[in-house]
Every structure is written in C-alpha cells, then in structure tokens.
Chains A and B, each alone.
Chain A
Amino acid sequence: MCDTCGCNITSGNRHLLRPGGRLERSGDGRAAVSVLQGLLSENDHQAGHNRSHFDAHGVLAVNLMSSPGAGKTRLLEATIGALGGEFAMAVVEGDLETENDAERIRAHGVEAVQIATGSACHLDAHMVHDALHRLDLTGLDILFIENVGNLVCPASFDLGQHRNITLLSVPEGDDKPAKYPVMFRAADLVLLTKTDLLPYLTDFDPGRAERCLRELASESPLLALSPATGEGLDGWLAWLRDEVAAQRERVAQGLSARPDIQPEGAALHLREPRGSALPAAPGRGGAAATAGGD
C-alpha cells in the first residue's frame, strides 16, 4: 500500500531540507545546534502519509474525540443507520482494551478495525497507519476514527484526518471547553450530545457551553443532538454530506484539507527564520498554521 507514496525515499534525506542542523561552534569541542523542529514531527510526517492514502482513495477521514462514554460509538451507530444506504463507511476504533466498540459497529454491517492501544491514552498516526493495512479503502466515502476516550492527549496527535469532531455530552457539564481548551480548540465541529438528558440535568446551559467554546476563539459550529432519540441528527447528517461533497471536490482538484488548527508540520518549520536559537515564529500551530485549512 505504501510503495507508491515516495515517503520512504524522502524520509532519509529530510534533514538536508531542515533549517535545523545549523552549527554554531564554540572553541571547546562543544556545539550549539539550532533545530526548531516540532516535537511530534515524526508523527506529523506519518499523518501526512496517511492523509495521502485517504485522498488517493477519495475518502473523507473524520476523527471523533471526547471524554470516555460521551457517546462516540452510539453516534456512529446512529449515523450508520441513517446513512448506510447513501455512503460506504468504515470505522477505526481506538480503545485501551476491548473489541467491544468494533463489535457494536460490525453488528450494523460496517467494517471496523479495532486498535487496542494498551496503556496509550491516545491514537497516533503510526497506529492508524497499521490499521489501514487491515482495511480496504477502495470505494469508501467516509472513514471514521473513534479516538480513545480522553479529553487531553488525543488533541496533540495528528492522524491524517481531514476533520476533527469533539463531543461534549450533557452529563459532563457545560464548562468543559474552558477546562480543556486544547481539545476544544482542535474541533472543526463540536457536538453537544445526549440532549435527551437536558430535562434532568437542569443546570446544564447549552448557551454557556457555546460561550466557553467561543472564548477559545473557535468559530466552529456547535450542534446539539441525541443519538438515543434521533433529535438533532439531521444537522449532523447535513454537515457530513457537505464534508463528503467538499472532499470529493478537493480530490478532483488534487487538493487536501487538514483540521483547522493542525500544524503544518515540517513544511511550517521550513518557513521559520534560520539562525537564532529561539525565533519568534510560531511552532506547532500558530498563525501560520491556521492558513492550512481548505
């Protein structure tokens, strides 16, 4: 699957392109080397490779993140039920231990690959790549990646997805975006889930949840829904349809997309000024990276 992307050829030579590796020699056999590389650049590189796989097959890849039990798998079950006749879908399931979620998906007649992460609290691009080798992307419209339930770690690892979705379920409380800014800032779409519980959890204020999100400088849409009752599902399905259409258009034009705030990876660092040990240029993310949307 990977022999055509040319990734292997460039990886060994990449350091020649880097602004890093610049030596500032001092007299005593010591040297200061300015590197200026993202700490996760190896992961970001693999993520770019995954993204090429998705684009080569015209698949929209969507990464679902939330705290444990917010309803990611339940949302996928409802989505498969509603769109099964319209789109070909598959799911990559990240979980610390069990195959339970993959089995729930397979029960709906959709292919699911389980990644048991063991003690790792997040998926990374290499794990997803391994999973891709157990999955045929041919003919797929959407690949969902259900990340490990965790509001912290998954936000730091680009998997090669085109879009990030963060779920916030009503029982968690409406101030979660203020408590987990890195995660909610990463979302291209925030889904307020389990809205059927709003009558019971009366102190949850959807308006406050949205205000917390906006205070993170996020203009991403926030949609409220309940996969349990089907309430609000239409808006989510419409968003997905739009994204599938947008991905098809991009693929036809040879373009790609990345989540709005994902860093540009190695390409970004090539634009950074050379020389000084600590330039003012942004590193991971930052103003330059936000230009990387579609």
Chain B
Amino acid sequence: MHEYSVCLALMEQVERVAREHGAGRVERIVLKIGPLSGVEAPLLQHAWPLVAAGTLAADAELVTETAPVVVRCTQCGAESEAAPNRLLCGQCGDFRTRLVSGDEMLLASLELARIDEVKASCV
C-alpha cells in the first residue's frame, strides 16, 4: 500500500521541520486526512511505527483528524455535506459541484521538544 510511501514522505517533512527549529524530539504530529485524499488513516497509523523507529519522532503521538466531505454547488451555490462517492448538491441535487473540503492530506502541525533558541528566533 502507498501509505508506507506517504509515511516516508511525512518522516522527511517532520525531520526537516524539527531540524529547522533545532528540536531534539518530536512529541506530537497532527495530520489532516480527508476521506477523498486516497489515504486511509488507519493504514497510516499502522505503517508509521515502522518508519519512525529509531528517529527523533519514534515516540511521537500521531494524530489524524478527518475533515468532512463538503461540496459547493456550481448551479445553486449551496454548500452541503456529501458521501465520498455521491458528491451531489444537497439542495438541488445537481452533480456539478466543487469539493470544498474532504480531499486534504496535510501535515497540520508538530509539537517539538527542546528548542534551540538561536535557530528558532530566525524563523
């Protein structure tokens, strides 16, 4: 599954941010994963320890938050929640909608420990 690749990419990002801030340890990682991102949060959670072992994020808590699938109708303008495979307007039923939320795959935030003052101040 590609969740392993995604974890590797996440690890690189986490290490880079931690380095930029002179952090010695990562304590918490918050992701935002939408149902239409193509990534399954439980599979990420499974793959993560394999990737994090032996790194500065080995003991970090990995939190995955889900955003609801929300569409905006290009015909009537209404915004409504939808099922991932039924992205119809909840108001008028039209299929010509745009996704407002639900496909995000973001590293939202990190909690770092032991910040190096010098590096942190030039961010």
Contacts and interface: CB of A to CB of B under 8 A. Distances in A.
Nearest to A277: B109
A284 B112 contact: no
Contacts, number: 174
B95 A214 contact: yes
A25 B96 CA distance: 44
A217 B16 CA distance: 37
B2 A33 contact: no
Interface in A28-83: 29-43
A124 interface: yes
B100 interface: yes
Contact of B39 (A42, A156, A178, A219): A156
Grouping DSSP codes into helix (H, G, I), strand (E, B) and loop, the B interface class, with mixed when no group exceeds half, is mixed
User: How many residues of B sit at the interface, in one of the four size bands?
Assistant: 35 or more
Nearest to B86: A215
B88 A217 contact: yes
B104 A29 contact: no
Contact of A35 (B9, B13, B84, B103): B13
A284 B103 contact: yes
Interface stretch (A15-23, A94-102, A131-139, A222-230): A15-23
Nearest to A34: B109
A82 B107 CA distance: 46
B112 A30 contact: yes
A182 B37 contact: yes
Interface string B8-21: 01101100110011
Nearest to B40: A152
A280 B102 CA distance: 11
Interface of A: 15, 20-23, 25, 29-43, 120-122, 124, 152-153, 155-157, 177-179, 181-183, 185, 212, 214-217, 219, 261, 277-278, 280, 282-287, 290
Interface of B: 1-2, 5-6, 9-10, 12-13, 16-17, 20-21, 23, 27, 30-32, 34, 36-39, 65, 71-72, 84-88, 95-115, 120, 123
Given A21-B20, A30-B112, 11 more contacts: A22-B123, A25-B115, A30-B115, A33-B111, A35-B17, A39-B105, A121-B2, A156-B2, A156-B37, A178-B85, A282-B99
4 closest Cβ pairs, A-B complex: A283-B104, A153-B2, A283-B106, A217-B87
